[in-house]
Structure 1
Amino acid sequence: MTHALFIYGTLMPGLRLEAEMHGARFMGPAQVPGRLVDLSRYPGLLHGEGSVVGEVYEVDDAHLARLDGVEDMVPSDRAASQYWREEVTVLSGPLQGQRVQTYVYNRTVDGCRPIAHGDYRRYIREVGRDS
């Protein structure tokens, strides 16, 4: 089975964990509802006002299970998971209106810096950080 997965951080091309997406099929750019925060070495998507910029890829079951490990998601144990995979609706782009999965940050974000515009690539350029 295949799944549409929205990515918005270090898994994107040109960023630190892009190799984890090898074998996935690019479906298009997208924005989804939510907000981003800077968690130091990577971003976290949270529920809330705004939109988050990223890309959608098609992945199979095995690839998705591997990404769950990368994102420290423990299937069937949300409390133990750093990120939790959820479905969201694409707000804009060629996939507008489609339901896709994404990783939502599942820990406290007290003291974390918001990424107001929701674009992690732009943010790391603005702050001069390597991904």
Structure 2
Amino acid sequence: MRIIVYGSLRREQGNSHWMTNGQWLGDHVIDGYELYSLGHYPGVIKGMGKVYCEVYRIDATMLAELDALRSKGGEYKRELTSTPYGSAWLYVYQHSMAGRKRIVSGDWLQRDKES
């Protein structure tokens, strides 16, 4: 199975160690989503933008670990989306983004460059 990561789980980010046992397949841009800062990590919601991501092949154990990390408190819900590498799971934020900063570039790695 595959998973899309777009923030702190990306390479060289604070939580990238969670992806150590995954196989990086490549970069990807998903359309129809917007990226927001939730502080030290981001969330995506459906919208009119694009989001820069990485796609990984993972096993069921790793998916369960990521579910525990991302699904606590109902913050995120997984949904299946298409990538050039096949269908992949994407964690979509489930709460309001009111008052949150949108990362207009869609790239978490560029968040500090936006004013």
**Global fold match (TM > 0.5):** yes
Q: How does 1:1-131 map to 2 (within 5 A)?
A: 3-33=1-31, 34-71=33-70, 73=71, 80-90=73-83, 95=84, 98-124=86-112, 126=113
TM-score for both structures, normalised by structure 1: 0.80
Please say which structure displays the higher CA radius of gyration. 1
Query: Could you give the per-residue CA deviations for residues 47-73 of structure 1, whole angstroms, max 9, x where no partner exists?
Result: 0111100100000001000001111x1
Task: Tell me how far apart the structure 1 counterparts of residues 59 and 88 of structure 2 sit (CA, whole Å).
Answer: 13
Report deviation, 1:117. Answer: 1.2
Query: Could you give the per-residue CA deviations for residues 59-107 of structure 1, whole angstroms, max 9, x where no partner exists?
Result: 0001000001111x16xxxxx51111111223xxxx27x3211110111
What stretches of structure 2 of length at least 5 have no aligned partner? none
What stretches of structure 1 of length at least 5 have no aligned partner? 75-79
Percent identity for Structure 1 against Structure 2: 27
